[in-house]
Structure 1
Amino acid sequence: MERSRLLQCLSADYMRLREVAGSGLTAKVPSCPGWTVADLVRHVGQVYLHKAEVMRIGSWPDPWPPEEVRIESPIALLDRGYGALTHEFSRRGVDSPATTWHRPDQTVKFWMRRMAQETVIHRIDAELAHKIDSAPVPDDLAADGVAEVLELFVGYGSTAWPDDFNQVLADAKGRTIRVDVLSPDATSWLIRADTDRVHVTRSTPDPAPSDPAPAATVSGDPAPLLRWLWARESNSTTDVHSPIEVKGDEEALTELRTLLRAGTQ
């Protein structure tokens, strides 16, 4: 996604989060056990401030967080954090250097993408807390989010933070799971968990003859698939058909869910 589009999505979801949070800060967030909306908003505001400071000083701030964060009201912190973050973005190009946790990408664009994705997931959390209809997630943002969670949080994460994955990988059997984004630009990923790491590779919905037969498949349009991968589905009812098609070996699907939890905890 281009810079302008990432910043547009970030702005829209920040405003939506702020709007929904204005309905009440005491509601419990079902997708973040133990959190209220106040905790959620405080978290996002603090994340914004942290990434702004990372870009400003060129390294990880230590100590963190600053004392005033602990006593600031959640909405005020969110607004201040967003202002600081977008100010730092405005001063830098997408290829400007920035410290990140993804070694192959030490640029400002990494944080533009990450903050846009962070915000859309957490505004969905706020909507779930208040049991209101979710605002649409644009296809381009959702498809980019699917790529991020699979390639960075699961694939890269399994080698960058092996301790988080050791338990789930201990009994890995090398099964392959295919995840398909059905539209607008069909893309697929093959995920294979071995005992030492998780291999995540891009493929196509029409597998090549050399591709291994998947033990299971998960497929859907970009927005519902993003929500499924982040375990942010709407409350299901028996008379509503799931927008996600899940097929195949139950153990493999459970393994994928466990890998996602390990990568996104």
Structure 2
Amino acid sequence: MEFTRFLDCLAADYDRLRTVVGTDADAPVPTCPGWTVADLSRHVGEVYLHKTVAMREGVEPEAWPPKEFAEEEPTALLDRGYTALRAEFATRAPGTPAATWYGPDQSVGFWIRRMAQETVVHRVDAELATGRPVTPVPDDLAVDGVDELLKIFAAYAVAEWGDYFTDILAASPGRTFLVRAGDAAWRVRTGPGEFTVTDGAEGGPPDVTLSGSPEAVLRRLWNRDGADGGVTVEGDPDAVEELRRCIVVATQ
């Protein structure tokens, strides 16, 4: 996806998120246990401001969020965070250096992509919490979100912070997963200390196949399924659980 496209998606999903969170601040968020819609609003605002600081100062702030944020009304914090984030994006090219947690990409472009994906997932959270119809996720954004989740979150986390996955992967017999999201496909290989991702469906028979529309697969992997799910899963339940647990730990 082009960065201009990410920014357009970010704007559209923020507008929808902002509309929805203003309707029922006390509603529980089923996909974020223990949170209300107000908590969700505060979280997204804090995330936006955190990335703004990372770009401005060239380093990710360690002590976050600042204590004074707790005194700010959640939607006001959300508005302030989004305004600051967009202002920062407007003054920096995607290739400009910026501090990120992902070693291979230390650029503003990383945060443009990440904030577009962060916002669409939390927009879905807000809609589910308030009983609103879930606005469809565009196919290109959903496919990119699956790619980001598998490669940038899960594969990178296992490679860099493998100790967190020992309980999940140490006894793995070595498994292959085929993930299909519309016309896009990825093959995932797991094993002791291993979580690797390659593009495409080619290869031997997988242990697990997970397939559906781009939106359905994105929501399943992020544990934001709808009532009907819309995803077909075929294969060993133990293997399915292994993949699920890896993604849960990688996205905490």
Asked if these proteins are the same fold (TM beyond 0.5), I'd say: yes
1:194 maps to 2:191: yes
Shift in alpha-carbon separation, 1:62–1:259, aligned structure 2, 3 A: closer
Match of 2:245 in 1: 258
Give secondary structure in 1 for the equivalent of 2:35: coil
Query: 1:219 aligned to 193, 208, 211, which one?
Result: 211
In structure 2, what is the equivalent of residue 171 of structure 1?
A: 171
Q: Which residue is 2:227 aligned to?
A: 235
- Runs of 5+ consecutive residues of structure 1 not aligned to the other structure: 237-241
- State how far apart, in whole Å, the 1-side matches of 2:31 and 2:63 are: 29
Cα deviation, residue 251, structure 1: 1.2
Unaligned runs of 5+ residues in structure 2 are none
Q: Work out the CA distance in 2 between the residues paired with 1:224 and 1:24.
A: 26
Distance 1:160 1:36 in 2: 33
The CA deviation at 1:64 is: 2.6
Describe the SS at the equivalent of 2:196. strand
Equivalences for 1:137-156 in 2 at 5 Å?
137-156=137-156
Per-residue CA distance 1:105-145 (angstroms, 9 max, x = gap): 11111000000000000010011111221011111111100
C-alpha distance in 1 between matches for 2:238 and 2:215 = 25
Tell me which amino acid in the other structure corresponds to 2:213.
Answer: D
> Following the alignment from structure 2 to structure 1, what is the Cα–Cα distance between the partners of residues 199 and 62?
37
Equivalent positions of 1:106-185 (< 5 A) are: 106-182=106-182
SS in 1 for 2:4: helix
Query: What does the per-residue CA deviation read over 1:22-77, in whole Å, with 9 as the maximum and x for residues that have no partner?
Result: 11110001101111111111000000000000000111224332232111010000
Equivalent-residue separation in structure 2 for 1:218 and 1:128 (angstroms): 23
- Where 1:35 maps in the other structure, the secondary structure is coil
Q: Establish whether residue 78 from structure 1 lines up as the match of residue 75 from structure 2.
A: no
Distance 1:248 1:65 in 2: 42
Matched, 1:245 2:236: no
